[in-house]
Amino acid sequence: MLQAGRPNLLIPGSFFRRRRERAVPLSHTRVPIRLTAGRNVRLSGAIIGPNLHRERLLSRMKCISLLLMGAVGVSAADFTTGQAARLVIGQETFTSQDTNSSATILGAGGGVAYAANTLFVADSNRVGATPSNHRVLVFTNLSSTLPAPDAVLVNNSKCPVCVGQASVVLGQPDFTTTTETLAATQSGLRLPTAVASDGVHLAVADTNHNRVLIWNSIPTFNDQAADVVVGQPNFQSSRERRISPASFSRT
């Protein structure tokens, strides 16, 4: 049996600390979150930073796993340079780079969001990193998969803190299919790169279909059709529209 917080664990320091919640910045391809004992998890940031050098980002993004920092604040006292992550979602270990597609394995994801105890991951990107799985994964009831502050971790796997199994996939009929949907439909996704949610609605940037899809409630089954499309006249259209500066009126 392993006790969370012992120095010989993958998890440095105490698992969670009680502190006032503060914003957490998104850095490179890691997804810092803050976890507070007895409270809901809150995630700050949604999209991988665009200002990184392309080659550097490609090398970091291949087979991205979500590294969860599991801290409550972001002051100098909370983080140190080179500090190890406490949890990982999307790979079986902290160092594996599995390119398969499943409910537990992620590809080169490009965006995340968190609301109503649900994690949303856009499993595609705009920088050419592979694999791009053309889907959005929904991890409902996320807190139930995260070890409690005083959890005793059983050493019965390679990585007892490599957690997370998606309950719903959007844009694909199942968790193993990664087909690129060329023709726009009400449920198909082609390179979704960003997600956002207020805990009731879900919005997905369906990038290569030149549109945003909105679900009026959090999806509950695979390949669920969207309720609203923004940027196109209907769900079957994906025409690229270019707007010239001259078309804007001056005030």
| Tens digits of residue pLDDT in 177-196 | 999 999 999 999 999 999 99
The SS3 call for residue 144 is helix
| Tens digits of residue pLDDT in 133-181 | 999 999 999 999 888 767 888 888 888 889 999 999 999 999 999 999 9
- C-alpha to C-alpha distance for 190 and 136, rounded to whole angstroms: 10
pLDDT at 15 over 60: no
Q: Which residue has the tokens 């957490």?
A: 24
Global pTM exceeds 0.95: no
What would the mean pLDDT of 102-127 be, rounded to a whole number? 96
* Least confident interval from 144-158, 204-218, 232-246: 144-158
Other Cβ atoms less than 10 A from the Cβ of 145: the count is 14
Evaluate whether 167 touches 139 at the Cβ level (below 8 Å).
yes
Tokens of residue 204, six digits: 């997905």
What would the mean pLDDT of 88-101 be, rounded to a whole number? 94
DSSP string, 3-51: ETT-TTSSS-S-S-----------BTTB--EE--TTS--EE---B--TT
Q: Dihedral of the CA atoms 150, 156, 159, 163 (nearest 10)?
A: -70
| Tens digits of residue pLDDT in 43-84 | 433 333 444 444 444 444 455 556 554 433 445 557 889 988
Closest by CA to 11, choosing from 110, 88, 73, is 88
What would the mean pLDDT of 233-244 be, rounded to a whole number? 91
- C-alpha to C-alpha distance for 20 and 231, rounded to whole angstroms: 39
Burial class (CB in 10 A: 0-12, 13-18, 19+), 76: exposed
Evaluate whether 236 touches 226 at the Cβ level (below 8 Å).
no
- C-alpha to C-alpha distance for 55 and 60, rounded to whole angstroms: 9
Closest by CA to 131, choosing from 206, 54, 56, 61, is 61
- C-alpha to C-alpha distance for 215 and 213, rounded to whole angstroms: 7
- The overall average pLDDT reported for the chain is 77
Choose between 27 and 1: higher pLDDT.
1
* Least confident interval from 81-90, 96-105, 135-144: 81-90
Burial class (CB in 10 A: 0-12, 13-18, 19+), 97: exposed
